Amino acid sequence: MIALVDCNNFYASCERIFQPQLENKPIVVLSNNDGCVIARSNEAKALGIQMGAPAFKMQHIFHKNKVHVFSSNFALYGDLSNRVMQILIQESPAIEVYSIDEAFLDFSGVMKMNQFSRDLRLKVKQWTGIPVSIGVAPTKTLAKVANYVAKRYKKEGVFALKSSSTINEVLKHIPVDELWG
């Protein structure tokens, strides 16, 4: 089995580590030169702020809803990414870092995948402050689907697609544009 560990709202989560008073507050992170929205907290997403939206067009929404706006800090995000990845490397016999906030892990030999995933999620949060979601499935594409479910619909942030009947049922409800690859 393959797990996809994905940091939740990564850049916004990084900003919250150093400003915990921003928990449950809307946050956006802007691109280089503060041109476009490149990251949003769940609270900002709920306000309808779109990824890639030009910041100048969002100013009225930012002001009206007291959105906390940050310039990107890629040195900070890279450092926190490295910390997360080091934990994942310790926990898995094989890891493929997919992006700054995602990695595929080899879960071969993991007997209690859900418990292992919950424990790993807790360890990453405790050691780095970064919340993650974990999706487990037989392929990378299905691990992405499982992560989509874990992130949006599972309070514990973990979901495994093991049986073909579960896979078929979940795929019926996932929009095609959400499928990876």
The candidate with the shortest Cα–Cα distance to 51, out of 20, 10, 4, 82, is 10
Based on its alpha-carbon atoms, the radius of gyration of the chain, rounded to whole angstroms, reads: 17
Decide: residue 176, CB within 10 A, 0-12 exposed, 13-18 middle, 19+ buried: exposed
The candidate with the shortest Cα–Cα distance to 77, out of 7, 8, 6, 11, is 11
C-beta atoms surrounding 58 within 10 Å: 22
- What residues act catalytically? 102
Do 148 and 174 touch, CB atoms closer than 8 A?
yes
Do 88 and 80 touch, CB atoms closer than 8 A?
no
